Amino acid sequence: MKYDVVIGCEVHVQLATKSKMFCSCPNKFGGEPNTRVCPVCLGLPGSLPVPNSAALEMAVKAGLALGCSIAPITKFDRKNYMYPDLPKAYQISQYDIPIAVDGKLSVRTGEGEREVRIIRAHLEEDAGKNVHALGADGRSGVDYNRAGTPLLEIVSEPDLRSPAEAAAYVASIREIVRALDVSDGNMEEGSLRCDANINLWVYEGGVKHATPIVELKNMNSFKSIRQALEYEVERQADEWREARLTMEKGSKRTRGWNEERGVTVLLRVKEEEADYRYFPEPDIRPIALDREYVEGLRSSLAELPEARRERYRKLGISAQDAEGLAASSVLAFYFESVVEEQADAKKAASWIMGEVRKYLNEKGLADEDYPVKAPALARLLALIEQGTISNTQAKVVLVAMADSGKSADDIVREQGLAQISGEAALLEFVEKALIENPDSAANYRAGKEKALGHLMGQVMKLSRGKANPQEVEKLLKKRLSE
């Protein structure tokens, strides 16, 4: 059976504004149920929504970063449906004039690069949350704290061709909104959510058949995005083999991912657009986004991860380190500060992605809480460069610096770690090793290169590991060739 997988994504990003989309209630995750609510986000009669200008600004920034055109005039519409978590029985969204349209995003996966067209990005308000199995009698309730949280919905064309590509696409969006500081992109808390539309193009008898589209919901992690889509590919292939179902009007279904059972389950027949009876929101006037405003935001955009990666690669940093640094704006800033202190970029990158990250993981610290300041790390790297301490010693010193807050110089002095270097200081050990190991010396002179390793080991032992190995090697070779 020959087929292509066809996936399009709808990504919902909660914007990190201080207040909600249309009222001044705090926009914060969690909290005692129904404590962050007011007449506007509860949809009480007579209340009036006022659009949040910070949310508009964030939406424009995200739209620009996704290569979209920004609408000169945008407006809000009512999307009507009844559900307990939606107190007004409509959601304020954007229908025919979204804030941003026609963008594109390049997504890199192990299999290569994929250009994904972005159809639109529009602003809307989040719904509340239904909570089930409360108390001893298992009641259900609704928490409206989330109602009215600003959401940016980013809709892609069905340009993704595998579950791995879809996961990489969502990861790219998350990276961008984090770099722009418009969302924390936290999938566990629902700040970033993805629904995916998936079907197969089956090629049989020289004809392309499209299977019915399924909209997949409830994918709360990158792992579940991949697993749910992989499951759905197999399920749709089986369905084609058994029933030869093809896409037609009204055949779209919504299925939810059940993480525990590892299956997708049918939720409902998908509503058609007409079911929502969209109409312009009469309480909010259309909003003009003039050129000056948009261009001002464009010029203030933070450097995007892809551009940063490219710049780092040009500094000669390994692709893996560049990738890791670009993914965290905190570590990227730290790296650049270390390099500003005259540290070698390649070495600084590998220390940060290696030892610094290892320390953060072991202590369970956030990137911004790493205790060693940039100039202190740069000084440590300089001590290695000068040959004062070895690379191995420096790793121990860095941990001690992070634990104690002391400088590299203090720790090296206190622990007596400084390497012994310089011909005058090393010659004593070298001579002693040559006298005590005449056979190794003779073997080396007879062409057995391996014998040098033994002599090196002896010198290190005599110096209690403090001799500078590069200098010892040079000195030994010099003495043996005389």
Give me the residues that bind Zn ion (CB under 5 A), please: 23, 25, 38, 40-41
**Sign for the pseudo-dihedral over CA of 272, 275, 281, 282:** positive
- Which tokens in the block code for residue 467? 């001799």
- For 139, counting Cβ atoms within 10 Å of its Cβ (0-12 exposed, 13-18 middle, 19+ buried), the class is exposed
- The residue among 49 and 158 lying less far from Zn ion, judged by its C-beta, is 49
CA distances in angstroms from 410 to 217, 311, 343, listed in the order given: 56, 35, 20
The CA distance from 441 to 329, in Å, is 54
Smallest distance, Zn ion to C-beta of residue 55, A: 14
- The residue among 36 and 78 lying less far from Zn ion, judged by its C-beta, is 36
Strand order through the sheet with 90-93: 90-93, 77-80, 279-280
Smallest distance, Zn ion to C-beta of residue 112, A: 46
Smallest distance, Zn ion to C-beta of residue 94, A: 20
- The residue among 19 and 162 lying less far from Zn ion, judged by its C-beta, is 19
Smallest distance, Zn ion to C-beta of residue 26, A: 9
List Cβ neighbours of 351 (8 Å cut-off, separation of 6 or more).
377, 381, 398
Smallest distance, Zn ion to C-beta of residue 276, A: 23
- The residue among 145 and 264 lying less far from Zn ion, judged by its C-beta, is 145
- The residue among 23 and 325 lying less far from Zn ion, judged by its C-beta, is 23
Q: Which residues pair with 73 in a beta bridge?
A: 288
Smallest distance, Zn ion to C-beta of residue 128, A: 11
DSSP 294-356: HHHHHHTPPPPHHHHHHHHHHTT--HHHHHHHHH-HHHHHHHHHHHHTT--HHHHHHHIIIII
Q: Residue type at 84?
A: P
Smallest distance, Zn ion to C-beta of residue 91, A: 15
- The residue among 22 and 240 lying less far from Zn ion, judged by its C-beta, is 22
365 within 8 A of 347, measured Cβ to Cβ: no
Residues 177, 187, 145, 95, Cα dihedral to 10°: 60
418 within 8 A of 412, measured Cβ to Cβ: yes
List Cβ neighbours of 457 (8 Å cut-off, separation of 6 or more).
none
- The residue among 40 and 56 lying less far from Zn ion, judged by its C-beta, is 40
Smallest distance, Zn ion to C-beta of residue 311, A: 42
- The residue among 23 and 380 lying less far from Zn ion, judged by its C-beta, is 23
In the 3-class helix/strand/coil scheme, how is 221-248 assigned residue by residue? CHHHHHHHHHHHHHHHHHHHHHHCCCCC
- The residue among 146 and 379 lying less far from Zn ion, judged by its C-beta, is 146
Smallest distance, Zn ion to C-beta of residue 37, A: 6
Please state whether beta strands 263-269 and 192-204 pair in parallel, antiparallel, or not at all (unpaired). unpaired
- The residue among 41 and 389 lying less far from Zn ion, judged by its C-beta, is 41
Smallest distance, Zn ion to C-beta of residue 48, A: 12
Smallest distance, Zn ion to C-beta of residue 85, A: 15
CA distances in angstroms from 358 to 176, 192, 275, 337, 367, listed in the order given: 25, 27, 53, 20, 11
The CA distance from 329 to 175, in Å, is 9
- The residue among 23 and 68 lying less far from Zn ion, judged by its C-beta, is 23
List Cβ neighbours of 355 (8 Å cut-off, separation of 6 or more).
395, 398, 399
Smallest distance, Zn ion to C-beta of residue 33, A: 14
**Sign for the pseudo-dihedral over CA of 258, 262, 266, 272:** positive
User: Position of tokens 């989309």?
Assistant: 21
What is the SS3 assignment for 401? helix
The CA distance from 366 to 251, in Å, is 46
- The residue among 147 and 377 lying less far from Zn ion, judged by its C-beta, is 147
225 within 8 A of 259, measured Cβ to Cβ: no
